[in-house]
């Protein structure tokens, strides 16, 4: 099971378990979920819409049945200067392919090493995507929408890079 062992939560909850929920919701057609760790009105509306669409009781309570129906809520890796590997290479590919018509700055090479040019491209992408510009690819940057058909940076890079060994969150 993708979200095994997660606490039952509802409006008012905060923390890592809520971030996992918000990541899972952002991997459904609902791209408007902000990943901030706060189960507020926006998250509550998204949960109820997901539950209704999945044929579940739309009560806003995220228990085992809702967790089971949601996509994996594991985080994508945080990438910054010094990161390397296949996920960086995939990020550089997306940044290169989209840059000419959108954010304008490319990493100037697809080598799997997150250096200063990749950081500059990430910053341009973050500015274009309307998220904090810090050159670090975390939850907010991964969730930037790339087009109108439900595509985000993380879905274009590949959810196969999600960190699946995150430990279950403790109940509140």
pTM of the model: 0.81
CA separation for the pair 9, 41 (Å, rounded): 14
Residue 62's nearest CA partner among 39, 36, 41, 32 is 39
Nearest to 22 by CA among 7, 4, 8, 40: 40
pLDDT digits (tens, 9 = 90+) for 81-140: 999 999 999 999 999 998 888 898 999 999 999 999 999 999 999 999 999 999 999 999
Query: What does the alpha-carbon distance between residue 29 and residue 34 come to, in Å, rounded to a whole number?
Result: 14
168 pLDDT higher than 70: no
User: What total number of domains does the chain contain?
Assistant: 2
Assigned domain for 112 exists: yes
Together in a domain, 62 and 99: no
Kindly state whether residues 101 and 140 are assigned to the same domain: yes
Which two structure tokens, joined as six digits, stand for 74? Answer: 């594991």
Does residue 50 form part of some domain?
yes
Which pLDDT does position 98 carry in this prediction? 85
Q: Are residues 91 and 156 in the same domain?
A: yes
- Residue 146 and residue 112 in one domain: yes
What's the mean pLDDT in 137-160?
84
Q: Which residues form the domain of 148?
A: 86-161
Digit-coded pLDDT (tens) for 24-53? 998 887 767 889 999 999 999 999 999 999
Same domain, 100 and 48: no
For residue 38, give both structure tokens.
């706060």
Residue 97 lies in a domain: yes
């Amino acid at each position: 099971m993708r979200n095994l062992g997660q606490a039952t939560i509802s409006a008012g909850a905060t923390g890592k378990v809520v971030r996992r929920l918000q990541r899972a919701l952002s991997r459904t057609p609902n791209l408007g979920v902000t990943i901030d760790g706060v189960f507020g009105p926006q998250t509550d509306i998204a949960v109820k819409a997901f539950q209704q669409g999945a044929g579940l009781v739309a009560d806003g309570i995220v228990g085992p049945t809702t967790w089971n129906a949601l996509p994996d809520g594991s985080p994508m890796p945080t990438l910054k200067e010094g990161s390397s590997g296949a996920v960086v290479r995939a990020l550089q590919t997306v940044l290169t392919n989209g840059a000419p018509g959108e954010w304008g700055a490319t990493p100037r090479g697809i080598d799997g090493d997150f250096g200063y040019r990749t950081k500059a491209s990430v910053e341009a992408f973050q500015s274009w995507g309307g998220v904090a510009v810090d050159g670090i690819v975390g939850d907010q940057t991964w969730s930037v929408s790339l087009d109108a058909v439900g595509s985000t940076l993380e879905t274009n890079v590949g959810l196969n890079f999600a960190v699946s060994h995150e430990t279950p969150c403790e109940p509140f």
